[in-house]
């Protein structure tokens, strides 16, 4: 069994698309895979949430949303505003462990960034990852501002004893500028290893078969794909 936690440097960086890509490749390998969204915010009632996008893109239908709040806020703030119970990290960890007993891979997608609060006591995705002893895959932006956000998140992970599973650029632009090109080398230095992947912008709009091909090309071998960071740097005319 294996558990992978997916977080981001911020909201809207491509966590759901990366989660779907990891799940799609696991499904392609005939691995039994489950996807868990501990807390979904910003989606009222029966609206389409992140796990629905994962199902559409990856074909993985074993998905679980443990709490849902209509306000587009942090889980703690959204729970407070709605009057609904906050997510219990202990119960979430127990449910995820149960799933891990019967699945080869459980992918856990956070809300917002690593230290966004789940409850009023300050429990975060970092606490959940630590409770699960699970590695954390960090999804980041390509453009200006990403280096500071990535460095801070990696530092917070190290401070809490979390194992990094790599850094993935969640949305690589079709026409990258100087900032994006330069950031690739700096992101690798921050993570002290080559990039674990880079998915192209618009990947989340593809149909399933095309998305799986993009996932295969955009994620590294540790995540089930064939992404080659050295070859990627070559296309950017960056030194190895």
Q: Which of 15, 27, 37, 130 is catalytic?
A: 37
Alpha carbon 164 to its chain's center: 12
- State the Cα–Cα distance between residues 5 and 193, nearest whole angstrom: 19
15 as an active site residue: the answer is no
Do the beta carbons of residue 230 and residue 239 sit within 8 Å?
no
Of 188, 119, 124, 206, nearest to 162 (Cα)?
Answer: 124
- The Cα 112–Cα 41 span in angstroms is 10
Residues known to be catalytic: 37
């Amino acid at each position: 069994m294996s558990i992978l936690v997916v977080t981001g440097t911020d909201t809207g960086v491509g966590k759901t698309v990366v989660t779907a890509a990891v799940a799609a490749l696991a499904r392609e390998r005939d691995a039994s895979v489950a996807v868990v969204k501990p807390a979904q915010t910003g989606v009222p009632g029966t609206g389409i949430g992140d796990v629905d996008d994962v199902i559409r893109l990856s074909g993985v239908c074993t998905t679980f949303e443990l709490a849902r709040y209509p306000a587009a806020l942090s889980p703690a703030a959204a729970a407070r505003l709605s009057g609904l119970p906050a997510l219990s990290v202990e119960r979430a960890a127990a449910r995820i462990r149960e799933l891990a007993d019967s699945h080869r891979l459980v992918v856990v997608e956070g809300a917002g960034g690593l230290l966004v609060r789940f409850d009023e006591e300050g429990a975060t995705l970092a606490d959940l990852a630590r409770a699960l002893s699970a590695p954390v895959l960090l999804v980041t932006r390509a453009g200006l501002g990403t280096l500071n956000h990535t460095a801070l998140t990696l530092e917070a992970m190290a401070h809490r004893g979390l194992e990094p599973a790599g850094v993935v650029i969640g949305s690589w632009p079709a026409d990258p500028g100087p900032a994006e090109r330069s950031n690739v080398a700096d992101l690798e230095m921050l993570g002290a290893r080559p990039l674990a992947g880079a998915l192209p912008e618009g990947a989340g709009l593809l149909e399933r078969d095309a998305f799986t091909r993009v996932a295969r090309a955009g994620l590294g071998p540790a995540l089930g794909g064939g992404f080659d960071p050295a070859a990627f740097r070559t296309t950017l005319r960056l030194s190895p």
